[in-house]
């Protein structure tokens, strides 16, 4: 037994020594290099967000730094991409030092602060709490939606801002909750549990995915608001942002220059203060919900907080609790100056340069094209918005050149704001209203014919009886 142990030990040592070089060579060999590498990925697949300025191709650590860079650094002649001039301190900064420039760092920190989740309370300022946290294009678009659709006392099928009519769908009937009724003579604990179950069933119905779809009638109202009212309100908001820096806060009302601490107070203010049907009621500070009048804005705001925001507060907490809405926003899609939301970052970058680097909302900050010559400033601002979208098309082309975008380029939009173009737009609008009226008449005639046929079918049955 001792000999066998001695005989086996050299073999085991030799086997270990013989295997160790192979293992070392396998670790240092070509096959091991392939195993240490990460698996190959498709070049067209974006694994991490690339925060890059599409004009100078400079990459930044986050989108707040990109927004600050575009707001402050002038890329255009007499400057160039390599040496850019700061719009705040007028210093010429080399491209490698633009992110560390003091003005850019302060602006980036401010954008990070106002869009941080600790500052955004009860949802972003562009999500309607009354419509299941439905998102809108901007903060001012949400305000227009609240006034046009949720205004108290609005007649069904009518726009709250004008005499436009649309086929408003009736509210869906609330189904009976599948909660068993407690027996007669139940104690207090059973009744309390029954009320809790009813509330939970109602919340399940409100948070159902089917309720997230926008009915066709409301889509017609949204298109009407976009065509008729949106441009005027956006122009008003941009003019206010030029001189009132506090309106860059998330929950600030551009209609009356007030700032609120959270989303619930902001939307309750818009509903109660700006939801009146006559301008004189606004001057007298009459609440649109309860018709009470107040002597000061402070007293009006206290009244709204104590009397009318409980339902909005419940809805906001419900959407957040069910993860339908979150206290966050994407800095790569949301403008840190006017809270306008874009689906692509190249449109956001073009918007920042064209809209927020100018002293006049009707003069492009990119190319200095002037739209103030239009006889109708609202029509001229609509042409400016199309002009801004064309600059976004150039940014998308730059993203394609950098291989950061693979979407096809859209068509170039018309920027004509002459009197002839305005007259043609009015004619087109009149034709569209006539066609809409004829469609509604034909539908009403069809309904009357159906009703007549039904009555004709029902009359013989009565004779038989």
90-145 tens-digit pLDDT = 999 999 899 999 999 999 999 999 999 999 999 999 999 999 889 999 999 999 99
- For 423, left (φ over 0), alpha (ψ -120 to 50), or beta? alpha
Q: What is the dihedral of CA 401, 402, 408, 413, to 10 degrees?
A: -70
Q: Assign 3-state DSSP to the chain and report helix, strand, coil percentages, each to 5.
A: 55, 5, 40
Q: How many CB atoms lie within 10 A of CB 378?
A: 16
pLDDT of 123: 93
pLDDT of 456: 47
Q: How many CB atoms lie within 10 A of CB 422?
A: 18
**Global pTM value:** 0.80
Strand extents, DSSP E, 21-119: 73-74, 83-86, 92-94
Contacts of 416 (CB under 8 A, 6+ apart): 383
**How far apart (Å, rounded) are the C-alpha atoms in residues 40 and 117?**
35
**How far apart (Å, rounded) are the C-alpha atoms in residues 437 and 106?**
55
Successive 10-residue mean pLDDT values, the chain, 465 residues: 45 46 47 53 58 93 95 90 92 92 95 93 94 93 95 92 89 68 82 82 76 80 93 96 93 95 96 93 94 95 94 93 90 94 95 96 95 93 96 96 92 90 84 58 48 46 42
398-447 tens-digit pLDDT = 999 999 999 999 999 999 988 888 888 888 877 766 655 554 445 444 44
Residue from 336, 138, 110 nearest 235 by CA: 138
């Amino acid at each position: 037994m001792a000999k066998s142990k001695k005989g086996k030990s050299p073999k085991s040592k030799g086997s270990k020594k013989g295997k160790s070089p192979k293992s070392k060579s396998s670790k240092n060999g070509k096959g091991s290099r392939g195993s240490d590498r990460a698996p190959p990925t498709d070049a067209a697949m974006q694994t991490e967000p690339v925060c890059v300025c599409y004009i100078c191709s400079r990459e930044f650590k986050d989108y707040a730094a990109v927004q600050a860079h575009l707001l402050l650094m002038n890329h255009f002649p007499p400057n160039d991409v390599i040496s850019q001039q700061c719009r705040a301190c007028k210093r010429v900064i080399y491209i490698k030092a633009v992110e560390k420039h003091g003005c850019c760092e302060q602006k980036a920190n401010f954008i990070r602060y106002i869009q941080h989740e600790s500052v955004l309370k009860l949802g972003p300022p562009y999500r309607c709490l009354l419509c299941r946290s439905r998102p809108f294009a901007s903060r001012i678009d949400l305000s227009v939606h609240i006034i046009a659709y949720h205004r108290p006392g609005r007649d069904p099928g009518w726009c709250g801002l004008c005499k436009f009519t649309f086929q408003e769908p009736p509210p869906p009937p609330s189904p009976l909750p599948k909660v068993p009724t407690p027996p007669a003579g139940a104690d207090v604990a059973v009744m309390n549990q029954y009320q809790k179950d009813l509330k939970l069933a109602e919340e399940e119905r409100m948070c159902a995915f089917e309720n997230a779809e926008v009915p066709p009638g409301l889509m017609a109202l949204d298109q009407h608001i976009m065509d008729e009212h949106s441009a005027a309100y956006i122009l008003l908001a941009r003019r206010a942002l030029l001189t009132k820096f506090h309106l860059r806060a998330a929950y600030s009302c551009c209609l009356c220059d007030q700032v609120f601490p959270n989303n619930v107070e902001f939307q309750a203010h818009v509903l109660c203060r700006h939801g009146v049907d006559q301008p004189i009621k606004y001057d007298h500070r009459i609440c649109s919900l309860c018709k009470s009048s107040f002597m000061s804005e402070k007293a009006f705001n206290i009244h709204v907080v104590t009397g009318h925001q409980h339902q909005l507060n419940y809805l906001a907490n419900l959407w957040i609790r069910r993860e339908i809405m979150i206290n966050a926003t994407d800095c790569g899609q949301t403008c840190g100056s006017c809270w306008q939301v874009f689906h692509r970052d190249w449109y956001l970058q073009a918007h920042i340069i064209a809209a927020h680097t100018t002293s006049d909302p009707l003069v492009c900050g990119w190319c200095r094209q002037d739209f103030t010559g239009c006889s109708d400033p609202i029509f001229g601002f609509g042409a400016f918005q199309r002009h801004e979208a064309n600059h976004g098309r150039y940014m998308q082309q730059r993203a394609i050149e950098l291989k950061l975008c693979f979407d096809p380029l859209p068509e170039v939009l018309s920027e004509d704001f002459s009197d002839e173009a305005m007259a043609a737009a009015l004619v087109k609008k009149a034709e569209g209203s006539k066609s809409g009226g004829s469609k509604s008449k034909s539908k009403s005639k069809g309904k009357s014919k159906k009703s007549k046929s039904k009555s004709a079918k029902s009359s013989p049955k009565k004779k038989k009886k």
